[in-house]
Chains A and B, each alone.
Chain A
Amino acid sequence: MSAPRDYEGIRRSAFGSFVTWAVVAAVLIWAAADPELELSRLAESGPRIVEFLGRMVPPDLSVLSVAWASTAETLRIAILGTVGCIVLSIGFGILGAQNLTPAWVHVPVKALLAVIRGIPLILVAMLMVGAVGLGALPGILAIAFHATGMLAKFYSEAIESIAPEPVEALESAGASFVQRMRFGAWPQIAPDILRDTLFRFEMNLRESLILGIVGAGGIGFYIQTYVRSFQYDKVATLALVVIAIIVMIELVNNALRRRLR
């Protein structure tokens, strides 16, 4: 008879799930039990939030030209940073593809990419500002470095998905190496590569907004300046410009991506 054993198993798994929930509850209680954290303040500050938001209207349009100029700089940082990460990702993507390189190459390359992904952009940007000084250049370098962690991984995975048979068929038909890559391999992954790149560009744009805070160029610098000096009506204008740009880029990207299948 196996009934008692089954019963044991059920009891044990019920106990296991009780332990899991107890641990989750303990972690949540520990996180919230900080004496500095007074949730009552959230309730009290209702009127303050209303007043704070009220100071954002009407937006001060006198900073519109600053907003456009610095958004343009952020956009430039995102574009050039994306170009940089594409160049790096082509190299690391090929090196990290397990169907192209031996294990002693692609395993360390993939580990390196994971480490790069683990370093927050803002930290990279601070280091770059330290290395090359203030301005757009450290922002571009930071984006290029940071985004490679993800994009090169995507490129590797795309390359690994290439079916070898069509490429071999072209070899049989007399195609040269370059022709096999151009007509056999590239068409298999082109839509994925372009879609991943557009996706990363969009992320780069959103992430580059904060670069100005550490002096790495773009609109972030002005947002921080106006927030610190309590000029919320100017912040509102900057926020609107940022939202407009992001929505525009997303619409264009979505339209492009829909065609990439």
Chain B
Amino acid sequence: MDAVALKSISFAYQATTAAALSVPDLRIPQGQRVALIGASGAGKSTLMRLLDGRLRGWQGRARVLDQELDPTRRPPRAWRRQVGFIFQSYALVERLDLHANVLNGRLGHISPWASLTGRFSPRDHQIAHAALAEVGLADLAGRRVDRLSGGQRQRVAIARCLAQEPAMILADEPISSLDPETAATVLQLLQAIVRQRGATLILSSHQPQLIAPHVDRFIAMDAGRIVFDGRPADLDEERLAAIYKGASDVRAA
């Protein structure tokens, strides 16, 4: 079963500009770990926003986790909670503590009106606590996020994503603001999580060498198009250099 099936996708931010995304065909099987690479502006983030159901106004057919996406409307809550998104800038509520931020990952599971009081069920608290423990931050549960380091913040964001109990995790440059050592920890964590749950992982990065050991497949983009799609082993120095120079003829054999 494919987690992602895209057909004849095209998208432009303005009618007059060139396509920000142009993907004739893309399939990603459930459980696969995929790295998206390419220069800034190549369309990685746009593709991820599409897969997360947050992009509007695209054309083509997109089927993600058994849901046909509609380019004109936000997908249902029950679908959105299955797709976890990890942001480059962490996207945490800085003034709340770690536990509250991770609990926010449960919002897709609970009744909108019942949650207004801010009271979560014991089970939600348990799940949030377990998620924080999984990223190794259970001891800091009561600390405010604005007192954490970048690496700790990204681990909290991962814990929030875990609390969603997602079938697919999208990570948009999750390690680009982290030092190499912390980046490696975060990558290992993500890999362990998707392995254990059989979840699909799609992550974008500018550090192909660093993420190569953690993924099954590389997809390189340039000007909204897929210019390489293959195993990490097939991506040699020459091809990498070409991708980042913006060459569009480096398709895998």
Please state if A173 and B95 are interface contacts (CB–CB under 8 Å). no
**What 0/1 readout, one digit per residue, does chain B (73-107) give for beta carbons within 8 Å of chain A?**
01001111101110101111111100010001101
* Nearest CB of B to A70, in Å: 40
> Is A58 in the interface zone, CB < 8 Å from B?
no
* Nearest CB of B to A60, in Å: 51
Complex CA distance for A161 and B85, rounded to whole angstroms = 23
Please state if A166 and B93 are interface contacts (CB–CB under 8 Å). yes
We find that the number of chain B residues with CB closer than 8 angstroms to chain A is 36
Chain B residues, CB < 8 A from A183:
93, 104, 107, 115, 118
> Is B15 in the interface zone, CB < 8 Å from A?
no
Contact of A166 with B91 at beta-carbon distance under 8 Å, contacts A178-B116, A183-B104, A183-B107 already known: yes
Choose among A165, A179, A188 the residue with the greatest number of B CB atoms under 10 Å from its CB: A179
> Is B245 in the interface zone, CB < 8 Å from A?
no
> Is A217 in the interface zone, CB < 8 Å from B?
no
> Is B173 in the interface zone, CB < 8 Å from A?
no
Within 8 A of B (CB), among A170-220: 170-176, 178-179, 182-184, 187-188, 190-191
Please state if B80 and A174 are interface contacts (CB–CB under 8 Å). yes
Contact of A178 with B112 at beta-carbon distance under 8 Å, contacts A168-B54, A169-B87, A173-B81 already known: yes
* Nearest CB of B to A224, in Å: 46
Which residue on A lies nearest to B166, using beta carbons?
A173
Choose among A169, A176, A182, A261 the residue with the greatest number of B CB atoms under 10 Å from its CB: A169
Contact of A174 with B87 at beta-carbon distance under 8 Å, contacts A168-B54, A182-B115, A187-B96 already known: no
Chain B residues, CB < 8 A from A179:
107, 112, 115-116
Which residue on A lies nearest to B86, using beta carbons?
A169
Contact of A170 with B104 at beta-carbon distance under 8 Å, contacts A179-B112, A191-B95 already known: yes
Please state if B95 and A187 are interface contacts (CB–CB under 8 Å). yes
Complex CA distance for A137 and B157, rounded to whole angstroms = 51
Contact of A172 with B52 at beta-carbon distance under 8 Å, contacts A179-B112, A182-B116, A188-B95 already known: yes
Which residue on A lies nearest to B74, using beta carbons?
A171
* Nearest CB of A to B24, in Å: 26
Complex CA distance for A44 and B81, rounded to whole angstroms = 81
Complex CA distance for A67 and B52, rounded to whole angstroms = 64
Chain A residues, CB < 8 A from B160:
169, 173
Chain A residues, CB < 8 A from B112:
175-176, 178-179
Complex CA distance for A28 and B123, rounded to whole angstroms = 72
Which residue on A lies nearest to B77, using beta carbons?
A174
Complex CA distance for A179 and B157, rounded to whole angstroms = 18
- CB<8 Å pairs between A and B, sample of 22: A165-B87, A168-B91, A169-B157, A171-B54, A172-B54, A172-B80, A173-B80, A173-B84, A173-B108, A174-B79, A174-B81, A174-B108, A175-B104, A175-B108, A175-B112, A179-B107, A182-B115, A183-B93, A183-B107, A184-B104, A188-B95, A190-B95
